[in-house]
Amino acid sequence: MINTDDSVANQYLVRIIGANGVDIVKKMPPGEIVDEKVAAETGIDINGIRRTLFKLYENRLASYRRERNPETGWLTYHWTIHLDNIDNRLDLEFEKLLDNMKERLAFEADNTFYICDNNCARFLFETASETDFICSVCGEELFHQDNEELIRKLSARVSEMESFLRS
């Protein structure tokens, strides 16, 4: 069910459902499944299976249909896993990361920062000037922090990511 050769997809799944969740998904039979049957067949805790399935659902990697038992009124969930959707989810994550990197680059380029010798915290100019350029954590003097190297690295990474999208 999971392509174990695709380390990026595996790492993404581990991030959203954990290593135990990935093990659960690997043990699930293909096609539509009922969580109780999976628990009975695999010996895995039903709550772990349900937690995994709902996390997959939240990330658009699973869907379900409900069926009500007319005699008891209990709902049965019939699940279908859509790991073929993982490439789309990874593309969305990549775009989100790129947007965050662009925001960080703009923030770094548009602001002036100050820091003390103890590296307690990084202060914007406005905050540093309000404290007369004294660190509010340790009381030491604040000095201008040159962030050109960080800006250069962020800019290079953003360019690299954008070129990847164009290819």
Q: Considering the entire predicted model, what is its pTM? A: 0.71
pLDDT tens digits, 64-80 = 999 999 999 999 999 99
Last residue within a domain, chosen from 37, 62, 81: 81
pLDDT tens digits, 122-148 = 999 999 999 999 999 999 999 999 999
Q: What sections of 2-135 are H helices per DSSP?
A: 7-27, 35-42, 46-58, 86-110, 125-130
**Closest by CA position to 122, among listed 101, 142, 94:** 142
Domain that holds residue 101: 88-166
Last residue within a domain, chosen from 81, 116, 142: 81
Is 145 inside a domain boundary?
Answer: yes
Judge if 151 and 93 occupy the same domain: yes
Judge if 73 and 126 occupy the same domain: no
Residue with tokens 């093990």: 23
Residue with tokens 């994550």: 93
